[in-house]
Amino acid sequence: MTASEEKFTRQTLQDVQTLTPNLFTLRTTRDAGFRFRAGQFARLGVTKTDGSTVWRAYSMVSAPHDEHLEFFSIVVPGGEFTSELSRLKEGDTLMVDKQAFGFLTLDRFIDGRDLWLLATGTGLAPFLSILQDLEVWQRFERIILVYSVRNAAELAYQPLIDDLKNRDYLDGVADKLLYIPVVTREEVPGALHGRITTLIENGELERAAGLALTPEHSRVMLCGNPQMIDDTRAVLKRRDMNLSLTRRPGQVAVENYW
């Protein structure tokens, strides 16, 4: 099979950053022909010592216009893929599928005024891509990023989130964003404390945002562990907010990130 016939390209690892003992980021080169919409994911492949290849899906942190690709990963103890991935260093090769996948994209919604981005853990990744793309700022009046982690040390990408307001292409619109960190296992100044579902049910999340979650105005994207997504979908359904489907546009879009 020639390189042109292969379903993947080989990219060079440019940077690896360890955030905590269990979290790290990867930055690679980007093939000129690789296209994706903000919020989508790519299949990454690593070669094991026995010569076999392991593949896993990772959402892009980087924006569609960036010349590199960036990914956010957790180390799964004993995990076949992340154990190999976490050992990679600058200059190593990573395989990237030529096609991007996923439906956690803005075209899931046909309307809406307020966009709520609710993430746990590494589920933050696609939302960072969406926030670095101009489309979301043009479509919505308010954007609320809710990022839930167990401990404050796991609040990743804070400099990137803080820097959005300084992006030249977001001049005049960056004040649409409200960032609400949530820490579940410790009390942290400036962060809410509790599970996302609890904060919705008791009204604390809406009070912090100064906005109501309503079917009329709110569009909600969920990305993170499946239990959070199932539980939050159930809470939103009780407010008449349903999954957005091609045949039936709704208010909620999801991506399990596990």
Does 2 have pLDDT greater than 60?
A: no
Question: Is 35 in the same domain as 118?
Answer: no
Query: What string of DSSP letters covers 179-192?
Result: EEEEESSS--TTSE
What pLDDT, in 10s, does the model give residues 27-67? 999 999 999 999 999 999 998 889 999 999 999 999 999 99
pLDDT at 3 over 60: no
pTM given for the model: 0.95
Q: Per residue in 87-101, pLDDT tens?
A: 899 999 999 999 999
Asked whether residue 235 is assigned to any structural domain, the reply reads yes
Sign, CA torsion 189/190/194/195: negative
Regarding whether 93 and 134 lie in a shared domain, the answer is no
241 neighbors 252 (Cβ within 8 angstroms): yes
3-class SS string, 35-70: CCCCCCEEEEEEECCCCCEEEEEEECCCCCCCCEEE
My answer on whether 152 and 183 are in the same domain is yes
Which domain-ending residue is among 64, 97, 130?
97
Domain boundary among 42, 68, 97: 97
Q: 161 in a domain, yes or no?
A: yes
* Sheet containing 142-149: order of strands: 192-193, 177-183, 142-149, 114-120, 218-224, 252-256
46 and 161 both lie in a single domain? no
What number of residues does the chain have? 258
1, part of any domain = no
Kindly state whether residues 111 and 227 are assigned to the same domain.
yes
Residues 74 and 166 in one domain: no
Long-range contacts of 1-8 (CB under 8 A, 24+ apart): 6/98, 7/97, 7/98, 7/99, 8/43, 8/45, 8/95, 8/96, 8/97, 8/98
Could you identify the residue written with the tokens 């991007």?
A: 100
CATH of the domain at 41: 2.40.30.10
Instruction: Tell whether 3 is covered by a domain.
Output: no
Same domain? 13 vs 124:
no
Kind and range of the H or E element at 131? Answer: helix 125-131
What are the pLDDT digits (tens) for 132-150? 999 999 999 999 999 999 9
* Structural domain that includes position 53: 8-97
Residues 111 and 195 in one domain: yes
Task: Specify the number of domains making up the chain.
Answer: 2
For 150-198, write each residue's pLDDT tens digit.
999 999 999 999 999 999 999 999 999 999 999 999 999 999 999 999 9
The answer on 111 and 60 residing in a single domain is: no
Same domain for 122 and 139? yes
Are both 215 and 124 inside the same structural domain?
yes
Give, for 227, the enclosing helix (H) or strand (E): helix 226-237
CA–chain centroid gap for 165, Å, is 19
Residue 85 falls inside a structural domain: yes
Residues 84 and 122 in one domain: no
Asked if residue 2 is part of any domain, the answer here is no
Q: Is residue 59 part of a domain?
A: yes
